[in-house]
Amino acid sequence: MKYLLGRKLNIDWKVASVTIFSTLLLIFDHYYAITAYKYLDRFLLYLVFPLLVILFLYRENPKEYGFSFGNWKLGLTYTVFGLLVMTPILYYLVKGNTTMKSYYAVLEPGLPWTTFLDLVGWEFFFRGWILFAYSRKFGDDALWLQAAPFALAHINKPDVETLSTIFGGFAFGWVAHQTKSFIWPFLIHWFISTFVILVASGWA
């Protein structure tokens, strides 16, 4: 009987819950809608829900999951450096790629608040909740573990963007890991998304 049952599993319940909840939230976001606005849905699913889990299920301080400014001097340095490096790259990438232009040109209305609401939850989800929960168990390997679902969540977006997201997700995670805050990768990602839409729409 012992041979048939195998050895006893030793599963970290917080790692399991983060994995299950995050997977279900990504699937729910793909198939269903809570409101008429996708960016509001993502704010609720990826920011509000994880915060409720942290506060009421885990009974922990959200600061332990990067919900703070962390090392703000280092974060500000990374953010400014990231914007300076990414701006010319994004400009020429979008201008020279018809797929990127056609995909993002239709998303202009409501900037920058729509991208803010869309991405503040998105970044906390990956670079806060998942990253810091996994890092307790898996250490630095959590950087790749959170980057994988992040990349898969980009499927159906332009190929050049999706192919880069495993590395971009790692880079965003590294910034969060170094600064102990999801805010700095959020600011970089918020700028990237808003700038890409403006360039695709002909405003920049």
Q: Give the tens place of pLDDT for each residue, 32-67.
A: 999 999 999 999 999 999 999 999 999 999 999 999
Residue 157, beta-bridge partner list: 155
Length of the chain as a residue count = 204
Q: Give the tens place of pLDDT for each residue, 51-110.
A: 999 999 999 999 999 999 999 999 999 999 999 999 999 999 999 888 998 888 876 667
Q: Name the residue with tokens 């399991």.
A: 16
Output phi, psi for 157, to 5 deg. -85, 170
Please give the full DSSP string across 71-130, using - where no structure is assigned: SHHHHHHHHHHHHHHHHHHHHHHHHT-HHHHHHHGGG-TTTTHHHHHHHHHHHHIIIIII
Six-digit token string for 87: 């701006």
Q: Is the pTM higher than 0.95?
A: no
Q: Among 9-18, 56-65, 98-107, 141-150, whose mean pLDDT is lowest?
A: 98-107
